[in-house]
Amino acid sequence: MTTNPGYQSNTNSVRYTPPSRIQQLQGQVDEVTDVMKNNLRLELERGGKLDDLEAKSDILNEGSRQFAIRSQKLKKKFWWKNVKMWILVCVVIAVIVIIIILASVLGKKKKN
Protein backbone atom coordinates (compact mmCIF):
# COMPACT_ATOMS: atom_id res chain seq x y z
CA MET A 1 0.00 0.00 0.00
CA THR A 2 1.43 3.41 -0.96
CA THR A 3 0.73 6.49 1.06
CA ASN A 4 -0.20 9.83 -0.36
CA PRO A 5 1.09 12.84 1.60
CA GLY A 6 -2.20 14.60 0.95
CA TYR A 7 -4.20 12.04 2.88
CA GLN A 8 -4.23 11.45 6.62
CA SER A 9 -5.62 8.26 8.03
CA ASN A 10 -7.42 7.82 11.32
CA THR A 11 -8.64 4.49 12.58
CA ASN A 12 -12.12 4.95 11.09
CA SER A 13 -11.71 7.45 8.26
CA VAL A 14 -9.34 8.92 5.74
CA ARG A 15 -9.14 12.68 5.56
CA TYR A 16 -7.72 14.80 2.75
CA THR A 17 -5.27 17.55 3.69
CA PRO A 18 -4.49 20.12 1.02
CA PRO A 19 -0.83 20.40 -0.07
CA SER A 20 -0.57 23.97 1.24
CA ARG A 21 -1.50 22.74 4.73
CA ILE A 22 1.11 19.97 4.46
CA GLN A 23 3.70 22.50 3.36
CA GLN A 24 2.70 24.77 6.24
CA LEU A 25 3.04 21.91 8.72
CA GLN A 26 6.37 20.89 7.17
CA GLY A 27 7.53 24.51 7.50
CA GLN A 28 6.55 24.51 11.17
CA VAL A 29 8.36 21.20 11.71
CA ASP A 30 11.45 22.61 9.97
CA GLU A 31 11.26 25.76 12.09
CA VAL A 32 10.98 23.75 15.31
CA THR A 33 13.87 21.54 14.15
CA ASP A 34 16.03 24.62 13.49
CA VAL A 35 15.15 26.07 16.90
CA MET A 36 16.04 22.79 18.60
CA LYS A 37 19.34 22.54 16.71
CA ASN A 38 20.14 26.12 17.71
CA ASN A 39 19.21 25.34 21.34
CA LEU A 40 21.48 22.29 21.34
CA ARG A 41 24.35 24.31 19.84
CA LEU A 42 23.87 27.04 22.46
CA GLU A 43 23.72 24.44 25.25
CA LEU A 44 26.96 22.85 24.08
CA GLU A 45 28.63 26.28 23.97
CA ARG A 46 27.25 27.08 27.41
CA GLY A 47 28.51 23.75 28.73
CA GLY A 48 31.98 24.51 27.39
CA LYS A 49 31.89 27.96 28.93
CA LEU A 50 30.77 26.48 32.25
CA ASP A 51 33.67 24.02 32.11
CA ASP A 52 36.08 26.90 31.46
CA LEU A 53 34.52 28.90 34.27
CA GLU A 54 34.82 25.96 36.65
CA ALA A 55 38.50 25.50 35.73
CA LYS A 56 39.18 29.21 36.30
CA SER A 57 37.31 29.01 39.59
CA ASP A 58 39.48 26.09 40.70
CA ILE A 59 42.62 28.03 39.75
CA LEU A 60 41.43 31.08 41.71
CA ASN A 61 40.54 28.91 44.68
CA GLU A 62 44.00 27.34 44.71
CA GLY A 63 45.59 30.77 44.32
CA SER A 64 43.61 32.17 47.23
CA ARG A 65 44.58 29.18 49.39
CA GLN A 66 48.27 29.73 48.55
CA PHE A 67 47.87 33.45 49.27
CA ALA A 68 46.36 32.69 52.68
CA ILE A 69 49.22 30.31 53.55
CA ARG A 70 51.90 32.78 52.45
CA SER A 71 50.23 35.69 54.23
CA GLN A 72 50.11 33.69 57.48
CA LYS A 73 53.81 32.86 57.17
CA LEU A 74 54.63 36.49 56.43
CA LYS A 75 52.52 37.65 59.37
CA LYS A 76 54.36 35.26 61.68
CA LYS A 77 57.72 36.33 60.30
CA PHE A 78 57.05 40.03 60.92
CA TRP A 79 55.55 39.30 64.34
CA TRP A 80 58.82 37.65 65.39
CA LYS A 81 60.76 40.53 63.87
CA ASN A 82 58.64 42.95 65.91
CA VAL A 83 59.15 40.88 69.10
CA LYS A 84 62.92 40.89 68.56
CA MET A 85 62.85 44.67 68.07
CA TRP A 86 60.89 45.19 71.30
CA ILE A 87 63.31 42.93 73.19
CA LEU A 88 66.24 44.93 71.81
CA VAL A 89 64.57 48.23 72.78
CA CYS A 90 63.87 46.92 76.30
CA VAL A 91 67.48 45.72 76.68
CA VAL A 92 68.82 49.11 75.54
CA ILE A 93 66.51 50.94 77.95
CA ALA A 94 67.53 48.57 80.76
CA VAL A 95 71.22 49.18 80.01
CA ILE A 96 70.67 52.97 80.00
CA VAL A 97 68.77 52.79 83.32
CA ILE A 98 71.54 50.63 84.84
CA ILE A 99 74.20 53.09 83.63
CA ILE A 100 72.26 56.02 85.11
CA ILE A 101 71.81 54.21 88.44
CA LEU A 102 75.49 53.17 88.58
CA ALA A 103 76.60 56.70 87.71
CA SER A 104 74.47 58.22 90.43
CA VAL A 105 75.56 55.61 93.02
CA LEU A 106 79.24 55.95 92.09
CA GLY A 107 78.92 59.74 92.03
CA LYS A 108 77.57 59.73 95.60
CA LYS A 109 80.37 57.37 96.77
CA LYS A 110 83.05 59.66 95.32
CA LYS A 111 81.57 62.65 97.09
CA ASN A 112 81.72 60.81 100.38
> What are the two backbone dihedrals, phi and then psi, of residue 2, each rounded to the nearest 5 degrees?
-95, 150
pTM: predicted TM-score of the whole model, two decimal places: 0.47
Q: What's the pLDDT band for 48 if we cut at 50, 70, 90? A: confident
Backbone φ and ψ for 18, nearest 5 degrees, come out as: -65, 150
Q: Give Cβ neighbours of residue 19 (< 8 Å, ≥ 6 apart).
A: 5, 6
CB of 8 closer than 8 Å to CB of 17:
yes
Q: Would you state the pLDDT for residue 50?
A: 85
CA-derived radius of gyration, the chain: 45
Angle, vertex CA 27, rays to CA 22 and CA 31, nearest 5: 150
User: 62-112: per-residue pLDDT in tens?
Assistant: 999 999 999 999 999 999 999 999 999 999 999 999 999 999 988 888 776
